[in-house]
Amino acid sequence: MILIDMRSSKPLYEQIKESIRSQMVHGALRPGDKLPSVRELAQSAAINPNTIQKAYRDLEAEGLIYTVPGKGCFVAETSANAKENRKQELLKAIRPLWTELRYLGVADEELVRHMKGGKNDDD
């Protein structure tokens, strides 16, 4: 299931990508699983099929899913390579935020503690 926030400034296809990535990360989608078809997902989420297409295309370019023409899209084996790339990307993104929080007087332990509770609000 994919939750979309129409009022977010984040592009729809980015929200879709993140939603799928998130499901893969949490284990709701496992290697070999079939993703919903473009038309199916488009209808259930009331989104233009072109937008879904773009999300799937991007994910395939990242190596996270693969397409079998006439069959559908499937979750790819997560290569150690892709995992490491993603990890570096996240670390790079998290550092400046962390730095500014420190300057705002948030101690590392407080931050860690804060991260252990609360729900995961995206954008």
- In the bound state with DNA, the residue whose beta carbon lies nearer, of 5 and 108, is 5
Map residues 7-46 to x or -, x wherever contact with its own copies holds by CB under 8 A: x-x-x---------xx--xx--------------------
Distance CA 94, CA 87 (A): 11
CB within 8 A of 70, min separation 6: which ones?
none
Q: Nearest approach, Cβ of 41 to its own copies (angstroms)? A: 19
- In the bound state with DNA, the residue whose beta carbon lies nearer, of 50 and 85, is 50
**79: partner contacted, choices DNA, its own copies, none (Cβ within 5-8 A by kind):** none
Are 72 and 37 spatial neighbours (Cβ–Cβ below 8 Å)? yes
Report CA 25 to chain centroid distance, whole Å.
Answer: 8
